Amino acid sequence: MTDTGRHQPALRLTRADLDALPSYVPGRSPADLARELGLPEAIKLASNEVPYGPLPGVVEAITEAVSGAHRYPDMGVVALREALAERYGVDADRIATGCGSVALADHLARATCLPGDELLYSWRSFEAYPIIAATNGATSVRVPNDAGHGHNLTAMAAAVTDRTRMIFVCSPNNPTGTAVRRAELDRFLDAVPDDVLVVVDEAYREFVTDPDVPDGLSYLDRPNVAVLRTLSKAWGLAGLRVGWLVAQPVVAAAIRKVVTPFSTSTAAQAGALAALAQAEEMERRCALVVGERERVTEAVRKFLPDVPTSQANFVWLPLGERAVTFGRSCEARGVIVRPFPGDGVRVTIGTPTENDAFLAAAEAALA
């Protein structure tokens, strides 16, 4: 058979504007690095995972759930939504779930933005935001972080136009770990028009220790506020992808319409319910992470005094143009971190042993 298309000009089958869009970068496989270096194992501190394994009862719940894998999951995610509603004191009709909070962020953009509308966020912030904006045909409006590597909410409010449809406020901010304070968030929300949806992205809320960092759920009396949360981080379900949002019922209902059908699997729903029953153990593990976060921060400040105070389960090293070189130096010592070229390096807090290995690699790279 003759291949009649072999010498034909290439056809454009996808949107040209996506060619310049950066791909989401997952953390490198520690098994691959270990093989490359000839080591028995490598340490991954790049993806903000909690290092202590699934919470008690989660594996058993998943194992039982997969016996029904030939059936579709509950598309309404009723039991999980009701459990979240009870734990956080909100009505279940204000909750929507999805394949991680990043999927829900995408659904929110789909539900609010038409081509040409503006999606505003701080930068550097979560690397998925520009991808979400572009794939939904929205225009990204990036407002530079302030000198302390946090959101400049005054500048963000000034950047709002009549084309702005949605704003992401990432607190604690990924990748810098900084968090917005109550007074500045109050002023910002007062300044934003009521017809602009403000999405408070709180994937790392459980690691916050600063009492002046507000809980986004306390702002749900404002009709234009939505809050994103996830069970991937503190609740230890990164591999199951369970995110949830809370918003006005009409907003939550719209998201439940546009969410990919059955995207919260049977196993994910069962694992999430089991995890939520282990709140005390989750909090104990978060306390361990916070203690190590303080130790690591103090240690790296000996080499980088301007490391910001983190409210998440990672620390930010503002290395600028040295970020990629530092990342490679750590990898050469069997420690995987997450460089952001030209900006800095995000380092997940692991076990004490893993953190010691990182600090040794960091000292070798920076001293």
As annotated, the residues of the chain forming the CATH 3.40.640.10 domain(s) are: 58-276
As annotated, the residues of the chain forming the CATH 3.90.1150.10 domain(s) are: 25-53+280-366
Q: What is the pTM of this model?
A: 0.93
Maximum CA pair distance of the chain?
71
Q: Cis link prior to 223 (omega < 30° from 0)?
A: no
Give per-residue pLDDT as tens, 82-138.
999 999 999 999 999 999 999 999 999 999 999 999 999 999 999 999 999 999 999
Residue 231 — left, alpha, or beta (φ > 0 → left; ψ -120 to 50 → alpha)? Answer: alpha
Helix (H, G, I), strand (E, B) or coil at 57: coil
Report the C-alpha gap between 91 and 246 in whole angstroms: 9
pLDDT tens-digit profile, the chain (367 residues): 555 555 565 677 888 877 777 777 777 899 998 899 999 999 999 999 999 999 999 999 999 999 999 999 999 999 999 999 999 999 999 999 999 999 999 999 999 999 999 999 999 999 999 999 999 999 999 999 999 999 999 999 999 999 999 999 999 999 999 999 999 999 999 999 999 999 999 999 999 999 999 999 999 999 999 999 999 999 999 999 999 999 999 999 999 999 988 999 999 999 999 999 999 999 999 999 999 999 999 999 999 999 999 999 999 999 999 999 999 999 999 999 999 999 999 999 999 999 999 999 999 999 8
Q: What fold does the segment set 25-53+280-366 form as a domain?
A: Aspartate Aminotransferase, domain 1 (3.90.1150)
Options 3.40.640.10, 3.90.700.10, 2.40.50.140, 3.30.365.10; CATH of 58-276: 3.40.640.10
